[in-house]
Structure 1
Amino acid sequence: MTEPRTSPLPLLAPTVHEHGWLVESSHRTLDGTVLYVRCAACGTRRVDLAARPQTPPAALSREV
């Protein structure tokens, strides 16, 4: 009895979603507050900078 031929499975693209960032820790610097954040859904991390209290934080690093 022979085994049927099978094709390799195609690589699946990663699931894209809107990250929900949670602050794990933070500290103040001369440029503003540095925030170490993690996505609640997938665990991706990045570093943000909140330069002013009135403005939303901006990403300082890429998502890792």
Structure 2
Amino acid sequence: MPKQKTHKGTVKRVRVTGTGKLMHEQANNQHKFAHKSGQRKRRLDTDQLVSPADAKNIKKLLGI
């Protein structure tokens, strides 16, 4: 049986912490910063935890 391949699109979007949690970047943090407040930009800067409902499928894509 062939090896399972890692889904490269998922690898680029999600990282795994040392304890096995899945983190992803907050949306709306790529461009058009002129009209966003500093407080909003700082809030968007932090990584977010992946929803537990999605975590199982994402781990499968990552081969974990």
Common fold: TM-score over 0.5: no
Asked which structure has the greater CA Rg, the reply is 1
Using CA pairs under 8 Å that are at least 6 residues apart, name the structure with larger relative contact order, 1 or 2: 2
Q: Which has the higher strand share?
A: 1
If the length of structure 2 is used for normalisation, what is the TM-score?
A: 0.29
